[in-house]
Amino acid sequence: MNDRLIKLKKVQRDLTRMLGRYPTIAEIAEIAELQPMQVRECLIAFRQPLSLDRPMG
């Protein structure tokens, strides 16, 4: 799973640079040769946690 996350983050970074915008899940899945649901699950599972003490704004 960790290898998949590294691959997805690299694809996401490369696509962002190429497209000039944040890529969609479908675009990431196509380049990574994965199903969109697999990409979504992996990105959701490894999201950065937010602190409740963090100031808003």
Question: Is residue 57 a part of any domain in this protein?
Answer: no
Interacting residues of 12 by C-beta distance below 8 A, sequence separation 6+: 23, 28
Q: Considering the chain, what percentage of its residues have pLDDT values greater than 70?
A: 96
Quick check: is 33 in a domain?
yes
Query: Is there a domain that residue 12 lies in?
Result: yes
Name which of 31, 28, 49, 53 is nearest 40 in CA terms. Answer: 28
pLDDT bucket at 35, cuts 50 / 70 / 90: very high
pLDDT (0 to 100) of residue 56: 79
Q: Token pair for residue 15?
A: 């696509």
Structural domain of residue 37, as residue ranges?
2-45
pTM: 0.76
Position 54 in a domain: no
Q: How many domains does the chain have?
A: 1
Instruction: Locate 42 and state its tokens.
Output: 């992996």
